[in-house]
Amino acid sequence: MDLSGVTWRKASRSGENGGNCVELAELAGLDGVVAVRDSKDADGPVLLVRPAALRAAVLAASATR
């Protein structure tokens, strides 16, 4: 899948944690699928997830803090 034309976003507070962030991109035409990648490795692997799965992952990660 060619993701060269998507707009990647990261949290506005991403600079506060030493650069340990992910970037997200909405993918047009894929029924709400979101692309997720490591902000430090723009050419690395990309996960494609549905918004509900992404919310569940964020909630689970937040619960372990």
* CA 29 to chain centroid: 18
Residue numbers of the domain that contains 35: 14-63
Q: How confident is the model at residue 65 (pLDDT cuts 50, 70, 90)?
A: low
In a domain, 37, yes or no: yes
* Domain tally, the chain: 1
In a domain, 1, yes or no: no
In a domain, 18, yes or no: yes
In a domain, 43, yes or no: yes
Residue 40 scores a pLDDT above 80: yes
What is the value of pTM for the model shown?
Answer: 0.79
35, β-bridge pairs: 25, 48
In a domain, 50, yes or no: yes
In a domain, 5, yes or no: no
